[in-house]
Amino acid sequence: MSRLTPTQRTLLARLLAEQELAPPPAWAADQLAADVQAELERRLPAHLIPRQFAVLPAFPLTPNGKVDTTALPDPAPARAGSHAPARTDLERDVLAVFREVLNRPELGIHDDFFLMGGDSLLATELGAKLRERLGVTLPVALMFSSPTAAGLAAGMVPVQRTQPTQPGVLDLSEFETDDTDLEQSTDLLRADVNLAADIQPLPGAVARPPEQWRAVFLTGATGFFGSHLLAELLATTNLTVHCLVRADSPGAALERLRAAQERFCPGALRDGDPWESRVHAHPGDLTAPLFGLGEAGFAALAQQVDALVHAGATVNFAYAYATLKPSNVDACADLFRLAVRGHLKPVHFVSTIHLFSSSRLLGRARIAETEEIDALPTVTGGYAQSRWVAEGLARQACRRGIPVTVYRPSVIGGDTRTGVSNENDALCRLFRGCVQLGVAPSIRSGLNIVSADYAAAGLVRLALDVVSQGQTYHLVNSESSALNDLFGQLRAYGYPLATTDYGDWQARIEAAGPENALYTLLPLIAHLSVAEATGLRPPHFDGTQAATRLAPQGLRCPPMSTELVQHYLSGMVRSGFLPPPTGSAP
């Protein structure tokens, strides 16, 4: 994960006053900022509220008439009280560490660590510095589910009260409260399943069938799975693909797409291919209004494309729901707004099988593609929670007449052709973390792993099949892989791993600290211990509907054979993600 610059970490709100206020008098600027902040405080949680404002008489424009973001002025220095000050000595100490790690001296106790520029790497640094400064060992779950100085301090107080005289380091690693529980009731998430009332197709609007498509809009094309979707669309169709990319210019956006293709899909770009003539890169951001395209750019895109493929999301199993909500939930409003702008466009929506990670589902035999997710009592982890809410918005859109097809891949493994994997995902972190420890657990659980090339090809073929529209498909492997078997593959490849029980393995990861690849996944590892303790197994994910549609086209998900696992491991060694094995690797 790349580090952000201090400028990129600044969360700002720039307000445009009425044009006749040029420049607006100080009283008008102050009143406008105060009114907007008051309204935001009424509508939003504290960690999403900007604390600095610059009031402008007009936005600076480029010669092309777009907002010139480089010419926007810095906001006025934060006024006293604009960032909530510490109320206790403990909050003051925690806040000081926040400010040091993020290099943000103006932070307040309610500012979200991740929204203010933090990431999982900086979170581990935060934990280390809190341990050094306060003598407190924080649970990883608390750091990711309560990522404010006030939240962390509040999590420490109950234990301090119960252990007021205990000397030495205060160990909170076993401390749990409702705020740190990864398993969230869907009743608490249901209020966010609320698609804006103005997102409606025109009366009598009908989407064009796939055989009439000329162009599609693809989000997430610089990510691992999105890169495979782009490569598949270019290799198997004649469609033009419009991609939303975080970049400063179309040229930079196109370069990011090309770099992602070369990294994740080596060999997909061949000399002589008319790649740039079929790929249109739009600089923008899922979290910005109208994707950062502006009204004219958004309207033009709506006229140019015939279908939307939404694979863009922040995938991080350690982040809390509130941190993931802007990109994974709020962006859906403009996705469906784009679908109804101009001619009606079908939406092909990438979700995840991890919706069904609740411990309440342990012991269930199977989860069908027709499973009613609205009836799920709980969802585990911020990422799965954000996907549950997003699918709820997709169902609302569908009821209004927007064609929506939902795809739920399981764990996306590597590419069977190249051996390249997404080395930031949970499976690769599992391999690396165990190799780093030299230890793997004896564990009953398994993982359903689908190859990246099968999942991408399956989605594109289903999307182009007029009979397949409007359904939900599980892009999964017909058989899950036992984790003990995967650890056995690591040993067979040449990594000498000892075997230990689940609790000891978890403790070793905690003791290893941020240097271990599994450290930031400790909240999920702790949650999975429920299955180990009870002996109940997760349900089988039934992908019969997808498999039945794809098998006649000669497309089947390959099993996680010994050869395929070792192909993936060889790719990780070639990239430097894993060290060369010390044993007898094939």
pTM for the structure as a whole = 0.73
Structure tokens at 128: 């280390």
Structure tokens at 260: 């992602």
List residues bridging with 474 in a β-sheet: 408
Structure tokens at 292: 């950062």
In a 10 Å sphere around its CB, with 0-12 CB exposed, 13-18 middle and 19+ buried, how is residue 161 labelled? Answer: exposed
Torsion of CA 30, 32, 33, 35, to 10 degrees: 120
The DSSP bridge pattern shows strands 540-541 and 366-367 to be: parallel
Structure tokens at 461: 């073929």
Distance CA 353, CA 473 (A): 10
CA nearest neighbour of 52 among 118, 113, 111: 111
Distance CA 188, CA 182 (A): 13
CA 434 from centre of chain: 24
Higher pLDDT, 141 or 455: 455
Strands, DSSP E only, in 382-519? 404-409, 411-412, 439-441, 446-447, 449-450, 472-475, 481-482, 498-500
Residue holding tokens 């009870």? 534
pLDDT tens, position by position, 383-420: 999 999 999 999 999 999 999 999 999 999 999 999 99
- Which class would CATH give 208-424+447-482+540-575? alpha beta
Predicted confidence band at 52 (pLDDT cuts at 50, 70, 90)? low
Higher pLDDT, 76 or 190: 190
- Does the structure show a pLDDT above 70 at 103? yes
Distance CA 405, CA 458 (A): 13
Distance spanning both ends of the chain, measured CA to CA: 31
Residues 94 and 160: beta-carbon distance below 8 Å: no
Higher pLDDT, 175 or 93: 93
The DSSP bridge pattern shows strands 366-367 and 446-447 to be: unpaired
List residues bridging with 14 in a β-sheet: 54
Distance CA 217, CA 306 (A): 8
Neighbours of 409 (CB within 10 A): 28
pLDDT tens, position by position, 278-325: 999 999 999 999 999 999 999 999 999 999 999 999 888 778 888 899
Which H or E run includes 488? helix 483-493
Neighbours of 470 (CB within 10 A): 11
Structure tokens at 119: 């990431």
The predicted pLDDT at position 53 comes to 66
List residues bridging with 73 in a β-sheet: none
Residues 475 and 220: beta-carbon distance below 8 Å: no
Coil, strand or helix at 309: strand
Architecture category of domain 89-181 in CATH? Orthogonal Bundle (1.10)
Which H or E run includes 219? strand 215-219
Residue 130, φ and ψ in degrees, nearest 5: -65, -40
Distance CA 571, CA 574 (A): 5
Residues 460 and 423: beta-carbon distance below 8 Å: no
- Does the structure show a pLDDT above 70 at 15? no
Q: What is the mean pLDDT of the chain?
A: 82
Predicted confidence band at 1 (pLDDT cuts at 50, 70, 90)? very low
Least confident of 26-35, 327-336, 460-469, 552-561: 26-35
Distance CA 435, CA 490 (A): 8
Distance CA 290, CA 575 (A): 37
Higher pLDDT, 8 or 553: 553
pLDDT, average across residues 566-584: 91
Least confident of 137-146, 169-178, 296-305, 442-451: 169-178
Residues 219 and 282: beta-carbon distance below 8 Å: no
- HEC string of 90-151? HHHHHHHHHHHHHCCCCCCCCCCCCCCCCCHHHHHHHHHHHHHHHCEECCHHHHHHCCCHHH
